[in-house]
Amino acid sequence: MKQDRNFDDLAHKFAASIYGTAKGEIRQTVVWQDIEQILLALNPNQDVHQHKQVLNVLDAGGGLAQLSQKIAALGHNISLCDLSSEMLLLAKQDIRENQLLDRYQFIHSPVQNVAEHLNEPVDLVLFHAVMEWLAEPISALSSLCEQVKPGGIISVMFYNYNGLLFKNLICGNLNHVEQGMPHRKRFKLQPQQGIKPDLVYQCLEQAGFEIIGKTGVRTFHDYMQNHDMGDFSFEQILAMEQKLCRQEPFLSLGRYIHVYAQRKN
């Protein structure tokens, strides 16, 4: 894989895959709990829903801006940056319908060049579900770290290499594992590669950040082999995911990991 993956041809398929699915709902629930903690850390002594200080947020590779719209609805300003004009178009329609346009600036650019479009470093960078689509994910992450102001936070969600490995192991795909899990192009929405968590954590620390939280996103839901077996409801799965997602060993088995880190002053 030599290039970053522009989602122009995948935008509609992607939209259908995240809205109203069990996977999407688990992700939204556990990551939003973290975002509430992040907003509190950036605005101490205040109720998360009653911010006085308006934060500047960069949604890097933000796609349809599903999560950042919830942040915008609390009164914060969002710069939405994406390589795909089609994703930006769909996002803009949705943002308009939600009457949040005045909170948004749209940046059609690779995240690696976003500094050219920002006046100053921001309070919060969201970099969710993008690294696994990039040719050079760690260098993109380090360049985004530079866009965070001292005391600000970066929130990174990445497709976990170890979760991908474990899923292939329990499905018996040992040939695929032995071949190094090459990207299978027929599964268009499957990320191009898993990201090794230690590389992300090291990159954040080397950039002068302190990791303040880690959460596994879907620590067991995707490993359930047969959803017709057992005795459970979706509500029970969602509650159990919330209970286990910040505890080892479940955290490190998440299909995605959400890690957030604060830039030292």
Ligand X SMILES: C[S@@+](CC[C@H](N)C(=O)[O-])C[C@H]1O[C@@H](n2cnc3c(N)ncnc32)[C@H](O)[C@@H]1O
- Of the pair 82, 241, the CB lying nearest ligand X is at 82
Q: What share of the chain is helix, strand, coil (3-state, %, to 5)?
A: 45, 20, 35
For residue 171, give both structure tokens.
């499905």
**58-69 burial by CB neighbour count: b if 16+ within 10 A, else e?**
bbbbbbbbbbbb
Q: Where does this chain touch ligand X (CB under 6 A) — which range of 43-51, 127-135, 209-217, 231-239?
A: 127-135
H-assigned helices in the chain: 11-18, 22-42, 66-72, 85-97, 137-145, 161-170, 174-178, 197-206, 234-244, 250-253
| Contact region with ligand X (CB under 6 A), list: 59-67, 115-123, 166-174, 205-213 | 59-67
Q: Please state the closest distance from residue 133 (CB atom) to ligand X, in A.
A: 5
Q: Which two tokens stand for residue 227?
A: 């959803």
Candidates 56, 69, 84, 219: give the one binding ligand X (CB under 6 A). Answer: 84
- Verify binding: residue 129, ligand X, rule CB under 6 A: yes
42 or 64: CB nearest ligand X: 64
Quick one: which of 30, 111, 207, 237 contacts ligand X (CB under 6 A)? 111
4 binds ligand X (CB under 6 A): yes
Interface with ligand X includes 71 (CB under 6 A)?
Answer: no
Choose the binding region for ligand X from 43-51, 109-117, 148-156, 170-178 (rule: CB under 6 A).
Answer: 109-117
> What does the DSSP assignment read for 123-169?
EEEEEES-GGG-SSHHHHHHHHHTTEEEEEEEEEEEEBHHHHHHHHH
> Among all residues, whose Cβ is closest to ligand X?
63
Q: Is 123 in the site for ligand X (CB under 6 A)?
A: no
217 is an interface residue for ligand X by CB under 6 A: no
5 sits near ligand X (criterion: CB under 6 A): yes
| Other Cβ atoms closer than 10 A to 80 | 28
What is the spatial distance between Cα 68 and Cα 49, in angstroms, rounded to a whole number?
15
The yes or no reply on residue 254 touching ligand X (CB under 6 A) is: no
Q: Which span sits near ligand X by CB under 6 A: 41-49, 61-69, 142-150, 246-254?
A: 61-69
Residues contacting ligand X: total by CB under 6 A: 21
What is the Cα–Cα distance from 58 to 50, expressed in whole angstroms? 21
- Residues whose CB is less than 8 angstroms from the CB of residue 163 and which lie 6 or more positions away in sequence, other chains included: 194, 222, 253, 254, 255, 256, 257
83 binds ligand X (CB under 6 A): yes
DSSP lists the bridge partners of residue 260 as: 155, 213
Q: Which residue of 25, 75, 110, 196 would you call a contact of ligand X, by CB under 6 A?
A: 110
* Choice from 26, 30, 43, 61 touching ligand X (CB under 6 A): 61
Residues that bind ligand X (CB under 6 A): 4-7, 61-63, 66, 81-84, 87, 110-112, 128-130, 133-134
